Amino acid sequence: MSRILSVAALEAIQEHAAAFPDPRSALLPALHIAQDEVGYLPPAALEDVSQVLDIPYSDVEEVVSFYTMFYGDKVGKFVLEVCKTVPCGILGADEIVDHIAQALNISPGETTPDGLFTLLRVECLAGCHRAPVMQVNSRYYENLTKEKVDRLIDLMRSEARMWGDKKRETPLPARDNESAAR
C-alpha cells in the first residue's frame, strides 16, 4: 500500500490513537501530524489517516472541510490568515489585507510564486479585544498596523532564508505581539 506519510508520522498517529478507547478521538492530532509533515492535506494524506485510525475516509474528509486550520490545497510556508469579522473590520482589517496583498503581490486566497506566503481571510480568531488580528501558522499577531505587518513579513523572509525547506511550522518568536513585531 503506497503511503504519503513517513513511518515516523504514522507511528506518531498510532501513539495518539492508542491513548484513546476509540481511535476516532485521535483524528484531530492525526491531521495536525499529517499536515505538519506534508504541508497540507491532499487526499493521499487523508487516506493514510483513515487507514491508520480505521475510520471511513468520508469522516476524515468531513472534519478537514469543517476546520479552517486544515488546508486541502497546497499553501505557502507561512499562511497569513487575517480576521474578517466585524470588530477587526472596524479597526482596519481590510486595509491590512490590502496592504499585505500589495506587499506580496497576491490576492486573498493566493500563494506567492516562491511558495513562501499564502494570504487568507478567516472568521473571528477570538482576539477581538486586540483587533485587528492575524494568525500566521500557529501564532497570533494582534493590534496590527501596516508597519507591524511589514516588519513581520521581513522577519518571515529571514526565517525562511535561515530554515530553507525545513518544516512549515517555522520558529517565529513566541507570542510576539509586543516584541518581534514592534
Residues in the site for ligand FES, rule: CB under 6 A?
A: 83, 85, 87-88, 124-128, 131, 133
Can you tell me whether residue 140 is helix, strand or coil? strand
Contacts 24+ apart (CB under 8 A), 50-54: 51/1, 52/10, 52/13, 52/14, 52/17, 53/13, 53/17, 53/23, 53/24, 53/26, 53/27, 54/23
Minimum CB distance to ligand FES, residue 82 (Å): 9
Minimum CB distance to ligand FES, residue 129 (Å): 8
Is the Cβ of residue 76 or residue 127 nearer to ligand FES in the bound state? 127
Is the Cβ of residue 49 or residue 82 nearer to ligand FES in the bound state? 82
Is the Cβ of residue 42 or residue 92 nearer to ligand FES in the bound state? 92
Q: Name which of 93, 78, 102, 108 is nearest 142 in CA terms.
A: 93
Residues 6+ apart with CB under 8 A from 49: 5, 13, 27, 30, 31, 34, 60
Minimum CB distance to ligand FES, residue 168 (Å): 23
Is the Cβ of residue 39 or residue 127 nearer to ligand FES in the bound state? 127
Minimum CB distance to ligand FES, residue 177 (Å): 13
Minimum CB distance to ligand FES, residue 172 (Å): 19
Is the Cβ of residue 37 or residue 142 nearer to ligand FES in the bound state? 142
Is residue 83 within 8 A of residue 93, CB to CB? The reply is yes
